[in-house]
Amino acid sequence: MLLEDKRIMIQDIFLDPYNPRFPEQQNMVQKDIIDKIFKSRGAKDLLQSMQIDIKWVNKIVVIGTDDLTEKQRGIIGISKAKYLVVEGNNRLACLKSGKISGVNHTTKIPILVAKREEDESVEDFLSQIRVTQGIANVMVVKEWGVIAKSKHVYNMYCDIEKREYAGNDVKPQVIHKKISSELGLKIHEVRQMVTRYEFYKTINDLSDTIPESHWGYLEAFDRNVEIREKLGMSPKTYKFDLEAGDGYIEEILKELPTLISKAAREINTKQFRDVFHKMITDYKTPEQVFEFIQKIVDDNDFRFKNIIDEQNNTSEEESWNHELDKIEKMIRKFPNQSEWSYKFKEKLKLISEIALKQYETVYEEDN
């Protein structure tokens, strides 16, 4: 992939309706995209900054429409544009907003055009485009939200799987490692993004959309291999088989948005993860898991906090056993050869006397 400096008119560049920041995957005309972008605080702040002064340090990156796939060229209205944004949707939306003095649709702006090299396949070229977007928006905290970042990494995963391993079995970890090296992310971060987005995408296809504010609650499902399997995700492919478990896998996934919404009103993401893991331990079959989740969802009186309180309330016997274990370990480690150890002689004697007295009392009661 090559990057060429050019100056082109704003009207010749189209915003990308399939940008990862739009997880709903819906067809949108340019005005719809601009309206959607300006619902974010970041875009509004950027517009205010550009109204004062426009700096071209980070140039908008575009791709010529001739280099798009046939599917991408089928996007509504794309035939009217010469270029499509690769990186810089927010900045272009500001320029197209009509709210920056001296800027209109015929204004020429400096951009970078991503071009395919002679010996570069379309697939490899588009893969490099994804890497470029990923470095700018996934590795760096920038314009994209957490769902958009995860969607992008997920798309990279699917691209690599299809392009490099089509028809061959490949361990997901191999692709995770490749993406990790390309974006500078840790392997477990890539795995989490791909796995969590698979949950998000599958749930959204079946049921209600999970809002970004609830994204963290998916942690309860994607971080533990046993939990993933119980919810229908294959440990080998990280994909769902919705027909497995006599159809109960699909029913489970449909209930998860409601379960998350209920949890979000009471507890944080970590509490939900911990309590869900403990509560689901005894359920083995998809049918049992579904009935358990449905019971919680349908019970208006159910409270997650009550479950947490019950789990935290250990018996007095268990508490004393735990404390005495700690005391024993501490005293066994006492450095009695240290030059200052003599200073604690009386305290150790007192502890011994108290322990003996308690022991004799217990002994008398036992006899």
- Report pLDDT digits (tens) over 110-121: 888 888 777 777
pLDDT band at 311 (very low <50, low <70, confident <90, very high): low
Cα-only R_g, the chain: 29
Query: pTM of the full predicted structure?
Result: 0.56
> How much is the average pLDDT of 75-86?
70
Residue that wins the pLDDT comparison between 165 and 346:
346
pLDDT band at 279 (very low <50, low <70, confident <90, very high): confident
The C-alpha atoms of residue 143 and residue 58 are separated, in whole angstroms, by 13
Of the chain, the percentage scoring pLDDT greater than 90 comes to 23
pLDDT of residue 293: 93
Contact 195, 238 (CB under 8 A): yes
Residue 364 pLDDT greater than 60, yes or no: no
> How much is the average pLDDT of 68-88?
70
> How much is the average pLDDT of 220-231?
89
Token pair recorded at residue 63: 């791709």
pLDDT of residue 244: 78
CA dihedral 153, 154, 155, 159 (to 10 degrees): 100
pLDDT of residue 278: 85
Residue that wins the pLDDT comparison between 313 and 2:
2
pLDDT band at 282 (very low <50, low <70, confident <90, very high): confident
Q: Which among 25, 62, 49, 63 has a CA at the least distance from the CA of 97?
A: 49
Of the chain, the percentage scoring pLDDT greater than 70 comes to 86
